[in-house]
Structure 1
Amino acid sequence: METILFDVDDTLYDQLQPFQQAFHSVFPNLTDIPIEKLYVSSRRHGEQLFNKSERGEISLLDLHIHRITAAFRDFNIEIEDEKAVQFQKVYEKAQKQITIFPEIARLFDLLKENKKQMGILTNGPYQHQLMKVHRLGLTKWIPMENIFVSEAIGSAKPDPQSFQIVEQKMQIDKEKTVYIGDSFENDMIGAKRVGWSAIWLNHRMRKLRETSVTPDKIVHSPEELLKYVVTNYLCS
């Protein structure tokens, strides 16, 4: 049986929206910063320290402070730690209002209708990611036993172990498994290392890194992803 697994953040919903809400609320006077570039920068800085946070080497609070202060520093702006903490609180509150991309919801409907096995593998604190799972209504399509969060399984992407845990729990055939995500480092590199196919939802138009890892397909929008999966996994 073919299995299709998904990342959550900025793959199933637009993570830029709550980020923008928090930015405008906490930094209303900073009108010259390209917010999407700031967001991409913060994601990059966060991913660089995420595994240290998972291992308990730094606190989650320190990670949150670092990723936004470092992102601002990329634009030659210094912000105080107190502002970073305030931003994180507003950001988390805004995340409670996220909505699934309509094209992803349609894709889930079609995959379920065609009896494709689906799953989720996401990095992050369990309760926070679980809140997103319920907010997005993912259990309508995907059973809870097929939803894996790094804190709960004890391993985070791109560590091959996190993907291997999913393989074992879901009893999937890696040669018939595809992973879809927005992060090249976590999602594409991680999935390809364990022999899965990988589709990069690069809707932030990030540059492809110079690496031996190549995604099986790069799409640039949820609409393009929907068309590609339907054509290649449902019509073949």
Structure 2
Amino acid sequence: MSHANRAILFDLDDTLFDHHRAMSAAIGAIHAAHGEGLPFEPFSLLHAELLEQIHLDTLAGRLSLEAARVERFRRLFAHFARPLGDSAAAEMGADYRRHLQANRYPIDGAAELLQALRAAGVAVAVVSNNLEQEQRDKLAHLGLDRLIDLLVTSERVGCAKPAPAIFQTALRELDVPAQAAVMVGDNWQADVAGAVTCGLKAAWLNRFGRRCPEPTLAYLPLDSLTPTDRLARRLISHGCANQLC
């Protein structure tokens, strides 16, 4: 096909890996064990906000993953007037990590979609704002490591999406021009806007029915990764041409 895309780039967390499911299970366990009397929804929502905020310090190398978890739970419980000491916060962070690891599952259709793309001869990469070993371990656990050609992380490149350099690194290592590639992700700013700014096509995985932030930006709208064969054909043949919010 003369206009077929030659590479499909995927975000990992909440695009191929169901981070929302794992996080919900883990914070639910923490609340059940330590949050007696605290309303769960505000507790869970604040935890998610703190996770996003403090993760930026991890990406920048200012905090390790373990230190980030300690800081996150210290701030979370301080907000509810239940201050934690260092040892209690560390124990809670380790407990959260155990529950998170025990609840790692792929998004429905992820493996089948990657298999279909690989069978069609399309290069597949994961481009992620996270630590290299963390994402390698995750891909291996999910059984997705054998279904991709390349992993590019913000830790390795030294910058995070939506910075052009991380997309450019993936394209260079795949030897594919931007106009022949599609970026698939759940984060509008990092994955969709970032990819389009860099000259790629983009597909927005919007599993939770969020409103489109930029109604004039072209993209391929997705609410799931299934049916996989049909989606693989759409990504390869059509990209985001003429698709609007």
TM range (shorter): 0.7 to 0.9
State yes or no: 1:92 paired with 2:87: no
Counterpart amino acid of 2:210? Answer: R
Residue in structure 1 matched with residue 234 of structure 2 by the alignment = 232
Shift of 1:193: 1.4
1:165 lines up with 2:169 in the alignment: yes
- Residue identity (%): 23
Task: Please list, as runs of the form range in 1=range in 2, the aligned pairs for 1:73-92 lying within 5 A after superposition.
Answer: 77=80, 80-81=83-84, 85-92=90-97
CA contact (8 A) 2:113 2:225 kept: no
Alpha-carbon offset, residue 25 of structure 1 = 2.0
Amino acid in structure 2 at the alignment position of 1:16: H
Q: CA deviation at 1:45?
A: 4.6
CA distance, structure 2, for counterparts of residue 151 and residue 109 of structure 1: 27
Contact 1:22–1:87 (CA under 8 A) maintained in structure 2: no
Distance 1:55 1:24, change over 3 A: closer
Contact 2:22-2:105 within 8 A present in 1 as well: no
Q: Is contact 2:128–2:154 with CA below 8 Å preserved after alignment?
A: yes
Following superposition of structure 1 onto structure 2, how do residues 12-161 of structure 1 map, counting pairs within 5 Å?
A: 12-28=16-32, 29=36, 32-34=39-41, 38=44, 42-48=47-53, 50-57=55-62, 60=65, 63-64=68-69, 77=80, 80-81=83-84, 85-97=90-102, 98-143=104-149, 146-161=150-165
Give distance in 1, aligned partners of 2:109 and 2:236.
15
- Structure 1 unmatched runs, 5+: none
TM-align CA RMSD: 3.2
**Match among 217, 222, 228 for residue 219 of structure 1:** 222
TM-score (norm: length of structure 2) = 0.76
How many residues are aligned here?
228
Report the alpha carbon displacement of residue 219 of structure 1 after superposing the two structures with TM: 1.6
Give, in whole Å, the separation in 2 of the partners of 1:199 and 1:187.
Answer: 8
Task: State the secondary structure of the residue aligned to 2:166.
Answer: helix
Higher CA-based Rg: 2
- Normalized against structure 1, the TM-score is what? 0.79
Counterpart-to-counterpart distance in 2, 1:96 and 1:128: 11
Q: CA deviation at 1:47?
A: 3.8
